Structure 1
């Protein structure tokens, strides 16, 4: 009896330990990469759902560094990365020709260290995929298979998920086909908080103590992906909420394919698993804001539709975000004006509005926590409020960025 009980409790505890480790990894990366908390979590959820993600943003926003650091935390996983160009040959991605074998009259490819044997992949400039490599790349992402150059049976690849990156949206039909296969799309930009930027500059000249580095075993991650995440329950009210959201977006002429909606269910399950919950709740629906838009201009519309349905706290936070963005636009428009004019604007308008927004965001966060709702959007808007407040203090009032960071 005792042996049976031990065996019966061991597996759920292993699943909980894997989720705890992944949450710890997320916390460590969020501490290291400023203003990337939601990005980190979304990439982890996507990987747990065995899906592919796109990180969209300008050069120099730590896209590749973040991807490497995240994937490097999976012990035992084969990792592969590549920077694509229009001239990248399929063999460079999936396996070069074995020259020694060719000299003996044998045509053979070397797959070790290539996409063909990778558990996790990072593909930079994904939309620069060459026409020659397009079909193989689509097969690799869609079905995890590669067709050897010499023919024969397709090779089944052990890929769990790919993180891709680009500085721009796809411009042609070929790249649009790949874009459609990337379920999750995440926008990143340059740091907005002057205090975070100051910390980034300091990190370039200082040598901080080695940060904590939690890892997770490949076998544990695979088990989470193949067993634990699919076992998360999706209650009927969540199905109803998804149907309501689809109808709301269709009224705004935002149409996502049935395939995309179906795949998104796995993201909801992965989100709940990562938080250590046995069933999907409304808070998990926020991940859909990264799934249901095709162009960045559509993202705010999708986000508001999602949050209107599931999270009234976050919807009000987005309304506050509009006020904060307007203040930042006014600050930009006042560039070059005298310090006296800037100070008057701060005293007359900016300080009060930013302080009021900050206080209300704190109240909204407390309400969300009390109700068990997600605070992701509130936290993001709070970050923007602090960033704009820091800009106002440093640019309009001339305060030192380090002092501002200490105050915030």
Structure 2
């Protein structure tokens, strides 16, 4: 890469980081999700956002793509009745009246640079093969036959409320390299800010954009040139062995594609080589079911992020306290208050202070704070439950203490 190309790549990466920061201010508790979606696009791969309705899945995809000047965006909500022509291009009725059979591709998946496909696992049997070809090879075979159409797709962001249930949808699931779980807001303060934003619209903030050509150059030229040191290869070998001992096995193809994600993560941070901190993105790659994700996350973060490792240990203690609170449902106010004052409140306050310290240490060291932030959200949510359900503290007072 020449000096000018390197300078341009640095500027593009800087602008992309600014986009993530700006959108993170708008979408509460979604900083890691937004960064991961962008890293996935930079690697030329596809992502799955898995979570219940009303968690801003489609809105994030739209807002992220809107920051790419010149990029064509297309979205669809699939059902088991969705015909391939609705995805890739309807029949031209006017041409059909003249005896010509052709499709209209403008504004469909065939012309999109970024696609958002909601309820991806409801893809109809009729559209399955074409959808797989579209995701795998970026091609579409026209209804009338002839040469396949090359699609300009950089990457697809897909979404679902549930995991696939059959063989057909499992084939699509396997092609989605990155899998991100999202839930409803955890932090009471973020929930309060969300409610306020519905009444008092925030003032417009900075709106950084990146030209489509710069994004495409990053995907095809800059990201693939990021160096992968031997130390990273060794770390991947160590991680693979650790996961196999837990009976978590990913395909060779998935591991190979994951290298591109590591390169994209390093590029986004303006680095010429992959570093240990980039391995954190693998927490979204190496699991098949959500039940496996915590194990994968723990193994990855044990390897690369000592402060996140301690945060995960604190998370276990926080979840245990919430389970105890659930088990005490129906007990007297005196019993609940005694438990909250002597045990839960102290432990949660101590965990909160330690998480705050861990975040400071991670920030100074330049490590990802995504796991710590997520666990901090859980700590605040559980603490709010303890204060309200066990001590009867007013919600406004809970907010003030948090």
The TM-score with structure 2 as length reference comes to 0.95
Could you report, residue by residue, the CA deviation over 1:59-107 in whole angstroms, capped at 9, with x for unpaired residues? 1111111111111111110000000000000000001000111111111
Q: Paired residue for 1:241? A: 235
Q: Paired residue for 1:177? A: 171
Q: Paired residue for 2:214? A: 220
User: Contact 2:91/2:101 (CA < 8 Å) preserved in 1?
Assistant: yes
Which ranges in structure 1 are unaligned for 5 or more consecutive residues?
A: 1-6
Which ranges in structure 2 are unaligned for 5 or more consecutive residues?
A: none
Q: Paired residue for 1:301? A: 295
Could you report, residue by residue, the CA deviation over 1:318-366 in whole angstroms, capped at 9, with x for unpaired residues? 0100011112223333445555444332211112111221222233334
Which residue of 68, 79, 97 maps to 2:62? 68
Equivalent residue runs for 1:71-110 within 5 Å: 71-110=65-104
Measured in 1, the distance between the counterparts of 2:339 and 2:83 equals 57
Measured in 2, the distance between the counterparts of 1:365 and 1:191 equals 20
Pair 1:361–1:82, CA change in 2 (3 A): same
Which residue of 358, 364, 368 maps to 1:374? 368
* 1:147 aligned onto 2:141: yes
Pair 1:233–1:136, CA change in 2 (3 A): same
Measured in 1, the distance between the counterparts of 2:189 and 2:364 equals 30
Q: What secondary structure does 1:273 align onto?
A: helix
Q: Paired residue for 2:50? A: 56
Equivalent residue runs for 1:151-300 within 5 Å: 151-300=145-294
Which residue of 121, 142, 145 maps to 2:115? 121
Moved more, 83-92 or 64-73: 64-73
Q: What secondary structure does 1:289 align onto?
A: helix
Measured in 2, the distance between the counterparts of 1:327 and 1:28 equals 35
Q: What secondary structure does 2:291 align onto?
A: helix
Measured in 2, the distance between the counterparts of 1:78 and 1:200 equals 30
Pair 1:364–1:198, CA change in 2 (3 A): closer
Measured in 2, the distance between the counterparts of 1:78 and 1:28 equals 21
State the Cα RMSD in Å.
Answer: 1.8
The TM-score with structure 1 as length reference comes to 0.94
Per-residue deviation, 1:37? 1.6
Measured in 1, the distance between the counterparts of 2:367 and 2:114 equals 31
Q: What secondary structure does 2:339 align onto?
A: helix
Per-residue deviation, 1:407? 4.5
Q: Paired residue for 2:106? A: 112
Q: Paired residue for 1:3? A: none
Measured in 2, the distance between the counterparts of 1:26 and 1:269 equals 18
Q: Paired residue for 2:381? A: 387
